[in-house]
A and B are shown apart, each in its own frame.
Chain A
Amino acid sequence: MSGMKRRQLWGGIAAQAAALALGLIIIFPIVYGILGAFKSPAEFSAYPPTFWPKSFAYTQNFSDAFARVPFLRFGFNSLVVALIGTVIRLLFAILAAFAFAFYDFRLKNALFLVVLATMMLPGDTLLVTNYLTVSRLRLLDSYLGMAITSFVGATQMFMLRQSFLTFPRELKDAGQMDGCGDLRFLATILLPISKPVLVTLFVQSFVTMWNAYLWPLLVTNSNHMRTIQVGITMITSFEDTNYHLVLAGVALSLIPAFLLFIILRRNIQRNMTAGALVG
């Protein structure tokens, strides 16, 4: 018996050591990127390539990167686009989920399918035609133009509806008898109860939009409207690779999504997997 116990103990230690080693390999590119932000151009051109920077006090890259491209402006643009996109997407999703969960109307099932079926058409295949639409609406180079294609959140609508359905319908009807209007019921009772789901959906949408690359690249052409993800790829060029500056930019761009991720990891882990499995 004790032999088996001991074997389990060693097995556990071995498994954890293996997991840590694999974990280090997986996060290696991130660590490498962040460390690279502290290397001088000379360290980059030195052979053999180094892993650790000579000194973490070397912050020249950050100030140079700031001087080269308007980082704060890029960050601000990303923030505005991600906020507009996320807030409107959730607002639309909440309203639709509310109707699908609490009302009976003739086209309910059909319209529900119309919204859900948007998930089957991959956004990438629609990029070029959406670009034409946005350009015709004269929304190129604008925050609205960058956010507008993310207003439809079928997954978000579906998850909110699932969450709303757990709320007893009789309670809503009872509230209505007491003169509680529909929107007031939604705002003062339903949404506060659904806060955990809302937080997850908000973070998930925000991070997705903060990280978006292709669409913001397509619909912006002036430098001051670029988002941060597009911006960091502009530090490098064919003539001048500037790897030290690129990595400084990358390291800066990682901060917001990173913070959100670390703070909300448990919450996201729980709700995201639940959502993915029902979807």
Chain B
Amino acid sequence: MSKVQPIQFPVSLGGPIKKAKPYLFVLPILIFAVGFVYYPFFKTFLFSFSTVNAKGVITGFSGLDNFNYLFSRRDFRIALENTLKITAINVPVTVFITMGLALLATKKRRLSPVYETMFTLPMAIAMSAAAMIFKVLLNPTVGWLNHALGLDIGWYQSREYALYGILMLTVWMGIGFDFLLFLSAFRAVPDQLIEAGTMDGAGPWSRFFRIQLPLISPTILYVALTNMVLAMMVSGPVIILTQGGPARATTTLIFMMYNSGYGSANYSLSACISLVAFALTFSLALMAFWVERKRVHYQ
């Protein structure tokens, strides 16, 4: 049998086909990026300045009418307030908890694999499963939490506490991943630096604030930023646990967007809310980067 020569495909087909090749490779992801990210964004933008019928077809230009209508609605102001409140609480609390856990776990000890697994486990739980568990756990009559802590709170039933009930769930869900980020950041701080600090007589507090904190500041920024985006977009737990209630106490922007678009087919209103949520999130991110340029220390 004679040896079969491999077909010299790339060599024989030179010229235009060869030039087109990288474009062909990039094409699939581009098509879907345009179709399901850029096109819907553009369409949301158009919708917010138009009148749109219940089938999602634009019927006319309406200028700023939709926005004026939205801003005049009391439920929008409530949703905006709730969303900002969730973000303002969720971000610092998550950073504080996960940074504390990571600090405690930085040094590798015998039981490290055990508690590292425990700290990261919430990551493996789906939002809807976690929400259902919290629904039972925080239930005022059959739930264990109120009973164990001697409380009498309708976590998802009362106007005062429902938002905090949602927050307990969102904070819990974020623990795993952010803990991992802080853990690897703390472990990347060179031991010599800490030892040198100890030699110079720095106690644990000043070692933390003078050595570790500046070195992990990029991670703090990253965790705060990703958490901020997630908190601004909270809607799933609201849909499952409270439907925005009681008395709109847990209505968030994205929940309102979902409700007015998917629920009542008011697509222009829904598009306006979506744009407001996007613009707010984007400006908060820009602010964070502005702070970063002043405060964050890169190695």
Task: Give the B-binding residues of A (Cβ under 8 A).
Answer: 12, 15-16, 18-20, 22-24, 26-27, 29-30, 32-33, 36, 44-45, 47-51, 91-93, 95-96, 98-100, 103, 105, 107-108, 111, 114-115, 118, 120-122, 124-133, 135-136, 148-149, 151-154, 157, 176, 178-182, 207, 210-211, 213-214, 217-218, 229-230, 232-233, 236, 243, 246-247, 249-250, 253-254, 257-258, 260-262, 265, 269, 272-274, 276-277
Contact = CB atoms under 8 A, between A and B. Distances in A.
B229 interface: yes
B133 A32 contact: yes
Interface stretch (B3-11, B71-79, B87-95): B3-11
Closest 10 CB pairs of A and B: A23-B118, A128-B261, A211-B126, A129-B40, A103-B22, A99-B25, A33-B133, A261-B124, A99-B22, A19-B115
A152 B36 CA distance: 8
A258 B124 contact: yes
Given A22-B115, A26-B175, A214-B239, A247 B133 contact: yes
A20 B101 CA distance: 11
Given A95-B28, A99-B25, A45 B142 contact: yes
Contacts of A111: 26, 30
B69 interface: no
B36 to A, nearest CB: 5
B193 interface: no
8 contacts: A26-B175, A99-B23, A131-B262, A132-B43, A229-B127, A229-B128, A236-B135, A243-B139
B215 interface: no
A18 B126 contact: no
Contacts of A122: 229, 232-233, 278, 281
Interface residues of B, number: 97
A8 to B, nearest CB: 10
Contacts, number: 279
